[in-house]
Amino acid sequence: MKSHARVVVIGGGVVGVSTLYHLTKKGWSDVVLLERTELTAGSTWHAAGLLPLFNMSYAVGQIHKYSVDLYKRLEAETGQNVSFHVTGNLRLATNKERMDEYLKYCGTANTIGVPYEIITPKQVKELWPLSDTDGLVGALYHPDDGHIAPVDVTNAMAIGARNGGAEINRHTEVLSIEQQKNGEWLVRTNKGDITAEHVVSCTGNYARQTLSMVGLDIPVIPVEHQYIVTDEVPELIERKKAGLPEMAVLRESDASYYLREERQGYILGPYEKGAPACFVDGVPESFGQDLFPGDLERLMPHVEAAIKRVPTFADAGIKDIVNGPIAYTPDGSPMIGPAWGLKNFWINEGHSFGVTAAGGSGWQLAEWITEGEPGIDMMDVDPRRFGAYATKPYTKIKNEECYEHVFVIHYPDEERGAGRPLKMSPCHDRMAARGAVFGQRYGWERPNWFAPEGVEPKDQWSFRRSNYFEHVGNEVKNMRTNAGLIDITSFSKFEVTGPGAEAYLDRLVCRKLPKGVGRINLSHALNKRGGIRSEFTIMRDGPEAFYLVSSGAAERFDHDYLLKHLPDDGSVRLDNVTTAHGVLVLAGPKSRDILRKITDADLSNNGFKWLTGQHITVGLAPCRALRVNFVGDLGWELHHPIEYQNHIYDAIVEAGEEFGLGMCGMRAMDSLRMEKNYRMWGQDLTREYSVFEAGLERFVHLDKGDFIGRDALIRQKEEGVPQSFVCLEVDGITDADPLGNEPLYDISGNIVGRATAGAYGHWVGKSLAQGYIKAGMEAIGTKLEIEILGTRYPATVIEESVFDPENERLRA
C-alpha cells in the first residue's frame, strides 16, 4: 500500500468504487481505495440490481440518468460484462392521484431528458401479458432502464479505475482518521498508515462509525430490506422457449412492491410497513457478508397483492428470502458532498438506491473534489441539508418512516409526521390556537396556513388546488389589504464582527456591502463558476459588525461556508445565532399603524427608510427591526432574543386587532412572493444558474474588487449569458397551478427551459410561474407553453413584479 495519496476513498462498495473510477476519469491517478474485506462485501453484493430512473428530485433524477447511461458503456470500456438487462420499467397506477404523481414526475423527466411513456392498461397487458390489469388506470413506462448485476458493475468500474492508475487495497480496514497540522489527513489502517490530501467516506452501513472518527454525527442508519426469490415458473420457462423477451421490471406503487424476472422465476421486493432500523449503534464485529433472517409475515400483504396482479406468482415456490441492511437518511436521498466543518473531507453515504445512484454520485463528487464545484445543483443531496436536530433517535424513526414511504405518493405539499414536533418557536402554541396547520423544515415547525373557525386544521395533500387554497387566498388578501403576521424564526442568522469582518464578507459576496450603519443589502455568495451558492440579507450593525439572514434550510450549509472561509488571524468572529433569535414579520399597508402603537421608534418613511434596520423596542422587548420582507409590502422583520417572542407576539396581536391583522402562513408567503417574483434560494436560485442568468445584475458589482465567482461572471459577460430568468403568466388553469420543475416549450413544441417555481397569485388573480429559458427568448409578450401534470398551457412572458412593480408599497 502507498504511504501517501492525493485521495483516499474508504469503502469498496459500488459507491466507493464509482467515486474512485470517476476521480481517475478527472485525471487524478494518485488515488487509493481501502476496503476492510472484499469489494462489494457490504450491501452491494445482495442488491436486486434494479436501476429505477424514476425520482421526483431534479438532482437525483440527473444522477440516476447518468448512471444508467454509464453502465451501458462500461463493458465496451473495461471488457467486464455488467449483465445490464434493458427490460424497461413499468410503474402501475390504480388511482388518479397516483397518475398525477407520475405526470408531475414527467415534467422533471422532460427537463432532464429521460425518455418515458404514459400508457393505458391495455398497453400494460401487451408489455406484461402475465399481469392482470384489473383496477389499473394507467402506468408510467421507462423503456431505458432495467436491472444489472451489482457485483459486475462494481468490478467493471474497479477495472476502469485501476486502468486509470488507482490502487485498490482489500482487507485494509480504516481504524482512525485525523487531520494533521499541515491540513493533510492521516488515515490509520490495520495495514499501516497513509496520508492524503482528501478523504472520501463511502462506507455504507458503517457511515456512522466512519464519520464518528472525525467527530461527526451523520444521520445515516440502515433499515432492513428484503426480497423474495422464487423457483422457476412454468409460464416464464415457456416464454423463454418461445424466444419472448424478458418482461419489464414491474412496480405496483399502490401495493408497495417491485417484481422482476430472475432466471425464469421472480424476484419480489416490497417496502413493508414496520421494517426495523438496524445497526443503530454501529455494525457489530460479528456481521460479515451476512444477511438477516427473512420475515415472511411482514412480506405477506405484498405477496398477496402480487398474486392478484401476477397470478402466476401464486404457484411459484419461494427459493430464498434475502434480508439485508440498506442505508437510509431521514429524507431518503443520499448524502453526497463536503463534510461540514472539515476541510477536504468528503461524504458519499446514505444510499438506499446505491447501485442506481453510484455512477452519478461518483461523477458529481469527483467533479466537486477535483474542480471545487459539482456541475449540477446538488442541494437535494448535500450532506449539510441536515442539522444537529438529526440526532440518532430522530434519524432512526425518520429512516423507518422514509423506508415505508418509498412507494407512498409523494405529494408536493406532503408533510410527514414522524419526529414532530421537534423545533418550535415560542409562539408555536399561540399560533396553533389560531388554527395553524404546521409543516416542517429543517426540524422547525412552521405554520403553512391557518384554518379559520369551523374548518378542520388539516391538509388534504394534492398535486392540485386543495382544501386550503381558499384560506391561503384569504391570508394573502388580508395581508395586501390590512396586515399579516408571519413567524420566520426558522430563518438562519449569523453575526460577523471584528476588524477583518468587512474584508472577509466582501470577498464572499458579489455586491458591495452596505456602507452606513443600519443599511441593508440583499447579497449573493457565488461559486467559482458564478452560480448562486447562498443568499444573504446583510445588515451593517456597526462599523465592524454585520448581521446576516439566510434561508432556514441553509443553516448548516451557510454556516459551514462562512466557517471555512474565516481568516485564521483571529480578525473575524462568526456567531451562529439562529436559535438564539426569533423573527416575526409584520407586513401589509397597516403594519406601520400597528407597530406605531407598541414602539416609540420613529417609523415615518424618513425616520425608518426601506432597506434599513434599527434597534428598537417593541412593547417592552428589544428588537432588531429590519425594514425588508419577502412578501413585497410595507413591513418589518422583527428579530429578537428568542425569550421575548411571546411578549412581542402578544403586543402585535393586541395592537393589530383594530387594524384587521391576520395570521399568515408559508403558503400565503409563497403566493405573495411570486407576485413580486422574488427568487427563492434553493429553488429559483441554485448553483446551476449564474447570478446574471437569474436576472440579478443589479445586485452585482464587478468593479468592487475581487470576489469569488467574479472571473466567471466576467467571462460570461464576454461570451454571452446562456439563459434568462423569466416571469410568466399562465392561462387556462382550472385546478393545478405550476409549482416548479415544469418544462417550458416554445410555440413549435421545443423544450426551451424549465420553471423553477409557480403559485397562484391570490391578490393579482393570476396563475404565475418563473424560471429559466434560452437567452434571446425573454422579450415581454413572448408566447410559450408550460406543461403541468401532462397538459400544456399557454404562458406569456410578463414584466417582473406583477404586484406593485414600482415598489411603491415597499417605499411607502
Ligand X SMILES: Cc1cc2nc3c(=O)[nH]c(=O)nc-3n(C[C@H](O)[C@H](O)[C@H](O)COP(=O)(O)OP(=O)(O)OC[C@H]3O[C@@H](n4cnc5c(N)ncnc54)[C@H](O)[C@@H]3O)c2cc1C
Interacting residues toward ligand X by CB under 6 A:
10-16, 34-37, 41-44, 46-50, 173-174, 202-206, 210, 225-227, 322, 324-326, 351-356
Angle in degrees, 0-180, between the axes of helices 469-481 and 666-676, rounded to the nearest 10? 60
Quick one: CA torsion of 466, 469, 472, 477, rounded to 10 degrees? Answer: 180
Minimum Å distance from CB 75 to ligand X?
19
| Shortest distance, position 357 Cβ to ligand X, whole Å | 7
Nearest of 734, 698, 690 to residue 715 by alpha carbon: 690
Cα distance between residue 540 and residue 546, in whole Å: 5
Residue 270 φ then ψ, to 5°: -100, 160
State the DSSP H helix or E strand holding residue 60, giving kind and residue range, or none if neither.
helix 58-78
**Least Å from the CB of residue 398 to ligand X:** 18
- Nearest distance in Å: CB 49, ligand X: 5
Least distance from ligand X to the Cβ atom of residue 227, Å: 5
Q: Which is nearer to ligand X, 130 or 202 (CB)?
A: 202
Note whether 759 and 768 are within 8 A (CB): yes
Closer to ligand X by Cβ: residue 171 or 615: 171
Residue 343 C-alpha cell reads as: 476541510
Quote the least distance from Cβ 414 to ligand X, whole Å. Answer: 23
Comparison of 188 and 573: residue with beta carbon closer to ligand X: 188
Q: How far is the CB of 317 from ligand X (least distance, A)?
A: 20
- What HEC string does 412-433 produce? CCCCCCCCCCCECCCCHHHHHH
For ligand X, the closer CB: 204 or 709: 204
Q: In what order do the strands lie in the sheet with 532-542?
A: 520-526, 532-542, 545-550, 492-497, 573-576
For 378-482, list the strands marked E by DSSP: 436-441, 444-450
Runs of H (alpha helix) within 657-731 = 666-676, 710-719
Edge-to-edge strands, sheet with 635-641: 613-618, 621-626, 635-641, 581-587, 483-487, 661-663
CA 686 – CA 691 distance, rounded (Å): 9
Indicate the residue among 17 and 595 with the shorter CB distance to ligand X.
17
The x, y and z cell numbers of residue 250, run together, are 414491474
Phi then psi for residue 589, to 5 deg, are -60, -25
Nearest distance from residue 174's CB to ligand X, in Å? 4
Q: Which residues contact 388 (CB under 8 A, 6 or more apart)?
A: 217, 556
Task: Find out whether 150 and 49 touch, Cβ atoms under 8 Å.
Answer: yes
Q: Give whichever of 42 and 665 is closer to ligand X, judged by the CB atom.
A: 42
- Nearer of residues 269 and 447 to ligand X, judged by Cβ: 269
Q: Smallest gap, in angstroms, from Cβ of residue 616 to ligand X?
A: 52
Residue whose CB is less far from ligand X, 253 or 767: 253
Which lies closer to ligand X via its Cβ, residue 324 or residue 383? 324
Minimum CB separation from ligand X for residue 771, in Å? 31
Closest contact distance (angstroms) between CB of 347 and ligand X is: 11
For residues 465 and 499, give the distance between their C-alpha atoms in angstroms, rounded to a whole number.
52
Of the two residues 42 and 338, which places its CB atom closer to ligand X in the complex? 42
Q: How far is the CB of 118 from ligand X (least distance, A)?
A: 24
> Closer to ligand X at the Cβ: 50 or 485?
50
**DSSP characters over 245-283:** PPPPEEEEGGGTEEEEEETTEEEEEE--TTPPB--TT--
Find the length of the chain: 812
- Between 46 and 624, CB nearer to ligand X: 46
- Give CA separation, 223 vs 10, 228, 278, in Å: 22, 17, 5
Residue 237: CB atoms within 10 A of its CB come to 12
DSSP run (H or E) holding 641: strand 635-641
